[in-house]
Structure 1
Amino acid sequence: MPSLKEVKTKITGVKKTAQITKAMNMVAAAKLRGAQEKMEAFRPYTAKFNEAMSNLSSGANTNAFPLMESREVKNVELVVITSDRGLCGSFNANVIKLATKKMEAYEAQGKNVSLVCVGKKGFQLLKRSGKVRKNYNDTMGNFQMFHAREIATDIAAQFLEGNTDKVEIVYGSFRSVAVQEPASKPFLPVQPVEKDEAEERKISGDYIYEPSSEEIMEVLQPLYLNVMVYHAMLEVGASEHAARMTAMDNATNACGDIVRNLTIVYNKARQAAVTNELMDIVGGAEALK
């Protein structure tokens, strides 16, 4: 049985750890509020942008736009977006797991796969594969639209030069504070947005564009890529704080359980020490008789 001093030292250490995890939980909750508000404010903009792209791209000649060019897929690039910091449970691991599955599936089809890592954690785990073409570290802590524009511009340039034939984004989708799911969506080539039946019923006639829809598409396509990347980064930012808040809350509860168990051990050790001392006293008294 461990000594009283060892058990007491462990209890003190666990209590200090619980204070740290509780503070991190409160910080994550405060940051989550801001990140969630920013993400939810951007979602209507993304939806309207998709609606505009749907109206413009329906019936458009995809061969007229280089970013919409469909060709035989030989080289695939995955844009993996994770957080820069850890201590957020299995959030980053789930995103990496999905990216690894997709990479193995494409390689099984005989395609070459390259990776673009946005976020330090993704790069740390995927650099061993030797397929990381470019990484953006220390970006997710305080990202802005110009970061998304830089990433989208680089990926689009690789596609236009013929180095990649297909691009997908893998990221963590924010469902709720308790649920964050890894997700993926096609990025390049830009596909005409499909309309569902409800949306088609809302449209009563054709739109007349000035200038022409082709000229508008040339301007909107790069912006559309920026919006897609920024939207994924916002989702990951909110998911990271939600996952960290949950992980730190679980860690705090676990620390409480450990303290209770160590307290029982401490009481047993103290009781055993007192019993031994009493036995020594009784034994000495009997010896004097």
Structure 2
Amino acid sequence: MAKARELKGRIRSVQNTRKITRTMEMVSTSKLKRAQDRVEAARPYAERLSGVIRRLLTPELAARYPLLRQPATVRRAAVVLLTSNRGLAGAFNANLIREARSLMARLRAEGAEAELHISGKKGISFFRFANEQLRTAIADIGDRPGAADAQRLVDELMAEFVRGEMDAVYVVYAKFNSALSTPPTTMQLLPVAPPAAEAEAAAGAQADVEYLLEPSGDEILGRILPLYVRNSVYRALVETSAAEHGARRTAMKNATDNAGDILETLTRTYNRVRQAAITQEIAEIVGGAAALE
């Protein structure tokens, strides 16, 4: 019965593991709903903000704002990578890291100096292990990122871009399309590109409405551009957080299902071994009785 005892121990181990993965799946499902609500709440504000910039922006005004400066060549670029602080989320962090490495390789192949800014312990540990120098490493942004977190990530980069010390800033994050679709995405944060008209059209606004502006459009645009950049980073943070919970829920559901399949196989094997042992014992008893007759 040594093999039967071993199988029974493995069955208990898999049962305990399945309890853990099922609990983590339930926790991730709960967190995903709240994170998805934050993503949906952030979108209308971002769409309206994009619409205001698109309406105010003219070629004459664009030449006056450093955040709209289009450099002839990119000599120095920053890559802001958003990852999670925890694992057990399938290939979520690996895909983000792969996207960031591909972007940095492309920038360096074009002759630019690419520096790395990371939020999340998983990204930090990977690139430190790879001996990549990190200019910024932030590991204390939780499941509910706020505007202050976005400001902390991007304000210094905006200041460097305004001074002409930085030519481009990119953000690598997980775009939250649904719980099952969270592709790694690269967004060019700086220089600010004029928002496309599709966002405003999706919000149901009319493109030909005339406005009376107080203060002037020039002053409004000067105030709103830094806000637009910070809001873009905030949206990337909340979408990455929601995508993390979706990926973890999927990974834990798959693990729970796999544990059930393993349990079914182990239980069947255990029953066969136990039945064989019982049959052997009966045969030995019958053989011993026959020998005594």
- Return the TM-score normalized by structure 1: 0.92
- Which letter maps to 1:139? I
CA drift of 1:107 comes to 1.7
CA drift of 1:288 comes to 4.1
Specify the alignment match of 2:102 in structure 1.
101
- Which letter maps to 2:279? T
Q: Distance in 2 between matches of 1:19 and 1:176?
A: 26
Q: Distance in 1 between matches of 2:44 and 2:209?
A: 23
Specify the alignment match of 1:242 in structure 2.
246
Specify the alignment match of 1:142 in structure 2.
144
- Which letter maps to 1:56? L
CA drift of 1:282 comes to 4.0
Specify the alignment match of 1:222 in structure 2.
226
Cα 1:197–1:145 shift into 2, 3 Å: closer
* Residue 17 in structure 1 maps to residue 17 in structure 2: yes
Specify the alignment match of 1:53 in structure 2.
53
CA drift of 1:210 comes to 2.5
Specify the alignment match of 2:34 in structure 1.
34
Specify the alignment match of 2:178 in structure 1.
176
Q: Distance in 1 between matches of 2:140 and 2:200?
A: 42
Q: Distance in 2 between matches of 1:151 and 1:60?
A: 30
- Return the TM-score normalized by structure 2: 0.91
Deviation per CA, 1:32-77: give whole Å up to 9, x if none: 1111111101100010011111112233433311222222201121
Q: Distance in 2 between matches of 1:194 and 1:37?
A: 25
* Residue 157 in structure 1 maps to residue 155 in structure 2: no
Cα 1:198–1:136 shift into 2, 3 Å: closer
Identity of aligned residues (%): 37
* Residue 273 in structure 1 maps to residue 277 in structure 2: yes
Q: Give 3-state SS (helix, strand or coil) of 1:225's partner.
A: helix
Q: Is there any run of 5+ residues in structure 2 with no aligned partner, and where?
A: none
Q: Give 3-state SS (helix, strand or coil) of 2:125's partner.
A: helix
Specify the alignment match of 2:68 in structure 1.
68
Aligned 8 A contact 1:58 1:192 in 2: no
Q: Distance in 2 between matches of 1:174 and 1:101?
A: 21
CA drift of 1:205 comes to 5.2
Specify the alignment match of 2:89 in structure 1.
88
Aligned with residue 169 of structure 2, among 167, 170, 184? 167
CA drift of 1:134 comes to 0.4
Cα 1:198–1:145 shift into 2, 3 Å: closer
**What do you get for the CA RMSD once the two structures are aligned?**
2.3
